[in-house]
Amino acid sequence: MKLFKKQKTEPIPEGYTADSVRIEKSTCTGERTIGFYNPKDKKLVGAELVRTDADIAAFCQKYGIKQMSK
C-alpha cells in the first residue's frame, strides 16, 4: 500500500500557454477564479474557484506551471 500518490500533471488545454493563466475577481462578491483566458470570448476556460493562495499553487501544480506571482 502506498501512502503517497504521485500526482500527474494534466496537459495545458489546446491553444493555450502558461502565459494564458489569469485570475479574475468578481466586483460584487469579491470571489476569485483562476483559469486559462480566451481573448476572443473574454472568458476563462477551465475556471476554478480560488479561496486561498494554496488553491493557486494547486492549480499551477496541476498543470505543471511555474508558480504565479500575485
Q: How many domains is the chain partitioned into structurally?
A: 1
Give the pLDDT confidence of 11-45 residue by residue, as tens digits: 888 899 989 999 999 999 999 999 999 999 999 99
| Structural domain for 32, as ranges | 18-63
Global pTM exceeds 0.85: no
And the C-alpha cell for 31? 470571489
Quote the CA–CA distance of 23 and 5 in Å, as a whole number: 28
Give the pLDDT confidence of 40-64 residue by residue, as tens digits: 999 999 899 999 999 999 999 999 9
Query: For residue 55, which phi and psi values (nearest 5 degrees)?
Result: -65, -35
- Indicate the SS3 state at residue 18: helix
Residue 3 lies in a domain: no
60 with 35: CB under 8 angstroms? Answer: no
Residue 6 lies in a domain: no
Task: Output the average pLDDT for the chain.
Answer: 87
Beta-carbon count within 10 A of 1 CB: 2
